[in-house]
Structure 1
Amino acid sequence: MQFSVIIRILGLLLMLFSFTQLFPVIVGWIYNDSDVMPFVEAFFALLIAGAVTWYPFRQSSNELRLRDGFLVVILFWGVLGVSGSLPLILSGQLEISVTDAIFESISALTTTGATVITNLDNLPYSILFYRQQLQWLGGMGIIVLAVAILPILGVGGSQLFRAESPGPIKDSKLTPRIKETAKLLWLIYFGFTLVCAIAYKLAGMTWFDAIGHSFSTVAIGGFSTHDDSMGYFKSDAIDTVAIVFMLLSSANFSLHFLVWRKRNPKLYFQDSELRFYLYCVAAISLVCIVYLYIENQFSTLGETVYKSLFQVVSMITTTGFTTSEYVYWTSFLPVLLIFSSFMGGCAGSTAGGMKVVRVLLLIKQGMREVLRLIHPSARISVKLNRKPVPDNVMQAVWGFFSVYIGIFVLFMLLLMASGLDQVTAFSAVAATLNNLGPGLGDVANNYAGINDFAKWLLSFSMLLGRLEIFTLLVVLTPVFWRQ
């Protein structure tokens, strides 16, 4: 294990992260906020901490091995999750505990969107912007940007990218060099954010709200600058913009690149994963529309369609925006929406959940087993995009699914043992492990009312979800630490 190299990288990344504290300061000055000093203090504290960490090991230049990459990624997310809480702790406007501040920071960086902060409409602009910025950095920017920048600093980035990259198939690259791949992904991500912000502005938002919500929309985060989330604006145009960019951001970014490079939008509909995803969105939306219309949940059919479509897209993409109190929708619909988040978005997207491709492969594998019962001697392969899926990939998918279910059950039981009721415990684990945000029961609106043990456990759950479980669990195994 190259500990000197790992510590050197961590120091470099901490110094880079310290500069993100300056953007809320600029926003605070623009809007005449009186609460910018916590960000100034956090900037110097993180910069000094990073420099002190980096300096003794500045000469270490060995190449990272795969195990080193896993450890760097985990330390990176853990350390930045804690570091990002510093200005929230120092802020005199929030007056929240260390536990709450770390929970909020990790929730933002993992793009979960679960919050312990209330009364958002009266908070300083600097704090509101900082929460949105953390989500944008966490969406896909942190590791991708690090991979693009680290080679310039003399550190190879390939191991980091493989350790963090989402989805069951991690070896495909858009370009031969990982640095170029990272840059391309970043450009797509930044381009979506820019266009989304402009669209929000044209739809009626202020520039501050447009930029802030574009950060959380493209990052599939769900934080808002208002307590009523997207419901604050009461605008079909804004909801439409959100729906479009939530769907775009939950699709595979590699697919976006291929469409752009070949100038062929038909590639979207040739992708098995995306087609299956859109079918699921349409089917769940139809169920909600029909049921809400029959139950007269809303006054008109048009309102029913818009509210249903928006909430389904928000939940299945694990964004977590709301335009109405979906937790009070009739019958089974709130639970259906929570279950839809288990699928999440496509592999290689900013969404959470198990990923659509895994769900699709599990269904195809189940169908194959049924066919084998009928035709025991037949050689039947599971195919994705008309290509056979290797057995090792199928084994990895089943392994992921079994570990996912095991962790879900364990965390739910622990939360119930800490005093949470069954509905709250179930939805809280689902919302954090899937990086969704809002749940049911006591966590329908926010997580401020649950106990500290639950917050720490759910913070760990968010990290597990963001790093797709195995990346974090592998470091906890004794085999990882053996020479």
Structure 2
Amino acid sequence: VFMLLAVLNFATHFLALRETSLAPYRRDPEAIAALSLILGSCVGIAFFLWWNDVYPVFWTALRHATFNVVSIATSSGFSSVDYAQWPIFAPIWMMFLACIAASSGSSGGGIKMMRTLVLFKQSGREFRKLLHPAIVDPMKIAGQLVPNNIVFAVLGFIYLYFMTTASLTFLLLISGMDFISAFSAVLACLNNFGPGLGVVGPSSNFQVLTGFQTWVCTFGMLVGRLEIFTVLILFSPNFWRR
């Protein structure tokens, strides 16, 4: 429960406490989307594990799936079982959640749900423009108009996020790490969710990495926690001239 609370915007918590009401959560599209996605994934992965005979009892599957899905999606980094031994779909989906499920202004990492909502709405808007080239289709989230400069900034951030993921993964592959371990280690560091898969899975840790691999992952953690634009500004000569 507390992991789920931590993945929501703290400003929404403040409003809920001030109003002594749950209405702020219902008005927050990020909170609705994040909770729906995470809780739906818990049930879906539990059913998937039960269907594949990982756990013969559904309620056991639901207990382990709920704890581990919520933990990874909220960047908490805990695990109750070695989920790397689950069928590969489950841990990959959990890492995908860690990339998008956290709300802005929360303790979670990743792209954040608000940017995901903007990307989703922009994709729909582009599709409608293909059908109706002359359409005037402003983007709104929770009744608020989203300016185009914000949309472009979000798209730029997501592009840099995926390029950073690819670049760091290639660096780990060059150093001799296998793809699953390298890719999951980069996602774990960028999204700050703890264990990955392979040699950095829940039953192991990052101690097995070489010095070069450790520096790559350290850089990934800094970029993930400070966010990409902040790090780029710090490395910009114009910033230091000012």
Residues of 2 paired with 1:398 and 1:258: CA distance? 29
Residues of 1 paired with 2:219 and 2:185: CA distance? 12
Query: Are 1:287 and 2:19 counterparts?
Result: no
Equivalent residues of 2:129, 2:135 under 8 A apart: yes
Q: CA deviation at 1:482?
A: 3.1
Of the three residues 206, 229, 232, the one matched with 1:470 is: 229
SS of 1:448's equivalent in the other structure is: helix
Residues of 2 paired with 1:252 and 1:387: CA distance? 17
Task: Note the aligned Cα RMSD (angstroms).
Answer: 1.2
2:220 aligned residue:
461
Equivalent residues of 1:318, 1:344 under 8 A apart: no
Of the three residues 263, 275, 279, the one matched with 2:32 is: 275
Residues of 2 paired with 1:399 and 1:303: CA distance? 42
Matches within 5 A, 1:144-155: none
Query: Are 1:259 and 2:21 counterparts?
Result: no
1:418 aligned residue:
175
AA aligned to 1:466 is: R
Residues of 2 paired with 1:423 and 1:362: CA distance? 27
SS of 2:117's equivalent in the other structure is: helix
TM-score, L = length of structure 1: 0.49
Residues of 1 paired with 2:106 and 2:159: CA distance? 22
1:335 aligned residue:
92
Q: CA deviation at 1:293?
A: 1.1
Structure 1 residues 331 and 458: CA distance shift in structure 2, 3 A: closer
String of CA shifts for 1:11-30, please: whole Å, max 9, x gaps.
xxxxxxxxxxxxxxxxxxxx
Matches within 5 A, 1:378-457: 378-444=135-201, 445-457=204-216
Quote the sequence identity (%). Answer: 38
1:371 aligned residue:
128
Moved over 3 A (4+): none
Deviates more, 1:244-253 or 1:291-300: 291-300
Q: CA deviation at 1:324?
A: 1.1
> Alignment length, in residue pairs?
240
AA aligned to 1:468 is: E
Equivalent residues of 2:49, 2:61 under 8 A apart: yes
Unaligned runs of 5+ in 1: 1-243
SS of 2:120's equivalent in the other structure is: helix
Q: CA deviation at 1:285?
A: 1.8
Matches within 5 A, 1:42-81: none
AA aligned to 1:442 is: V
SS of 2:207's equivalent in the other structure is: coil
Q: CA deviation at 1:481?
A: 2.6
Residues of 1 paired with 2:127 and 2:35: CA distance? 25
Residues of 2 paired with 1:450 and 1:278: CA distance? 35
Matches within 5 A, 1:93-172: none
Equivalent residues of 1:344, 1:434 under 8 A apart: no
